[in-house]
Amino acid sequence: MAYLNDRVLDFGLDALTQEVNRLDICSDMPSDYGEATDTYSLGNKTSHSVGSPAPGDPDGRQVESAPVEEGSVTATGEARWYALSDTSNNRLLAAGQLTNQQVVTDGNEFTLTSFTIRIPAPE
């Protein structure tokens, strides 16, 4: 069985906590910054934040993304994914499936509840 100290897991999550400044809702799973912020983006919220690393549930370490209010919808479609990016370095930091998918319409606003990003403990 492998072992990683919480400090090792936290350093990965610290990069997310310190560098993320934009959340996009996306129609498809982005694999790079361009897809996250342009190709698949249906809307975004700038100045987005993520909390500090904490014990994961059921194991590992995790961070919690802040809820979103008044996100700007920039295209019409079904938002199924989220993307967290660092716009200073044009870097996609994390992406995942939204728990509650939603149909959005260009020109409207979107909201999201907070969600967790977890690095599980090694097996």
Query: Is residue 40 in a domain?
Result: yes
pLDDT at 60: 92
- The 10 Å CB-count burial string (b at 16+, else e) for 27-49 is beebeebebbbeebbbbbbeebe
Report the side by side order of strands in the sheet with 61-65.
54-55, 61-65, 115-119
CB atoms within 10 A of CB 73: 20
Please compute, for residue 33, the number of CA atoms within 13 A of its CA located in the half-sphere on the CB side: 12
Q: How confident is the model at residue 8 (pLDDT cuts 50, 70, 90)?
A: confident
What SS3 state is found at 104? strand
Please write the tens of the pLDDT for every residue from 22-64: 999 999 999 999 999 999 999 999 999 999 999 999 999 999 9
Query: Is residue 1 in a domain?
Result: no
Query: Is residue 50 in a domain?
Result: yes
Is the pLDDT confidence value at 76 over 80?
A: yes
Q: How confident is the model at residue 5 (pLDDT cuts 50, 70, 90)?
A: confident
Query: Is residue 22 in a domain?
Result: yes
Query: Is residue 56 in a domain?
Result: yes
Is the pLDDT confidence value at 1 over 70?
A: no
**Residue 108 belongs to what domain range?**
6-119
pLDDT at 52: 95
pLDDT at 12: 87
What's the CA gap between 118 and 78, in Å, rounded? 25
Q: What mean pLDDT, rounded, does the chain reach? A: 94
Share of the chain above pLDDT 90, in %: 88
Q: Average pLDDT of 77-100?
A: 96
Is the pLDDT confidence value at 80 over 70?
A: yes
Query: Is residue 85 in a domain?
Result: yes
Q: How far lies 48's CA from each of 3, 21, 59, 108, in Å?
A: 32, 5, 26, 18
Query: Is residue 114 in a domain?
Result: yes
Query: Is residue 52 in a domain?
Result: yes
- Domain count across the chain: 1
Is the pLDDT confidence value at 107 over 80?
A: yes
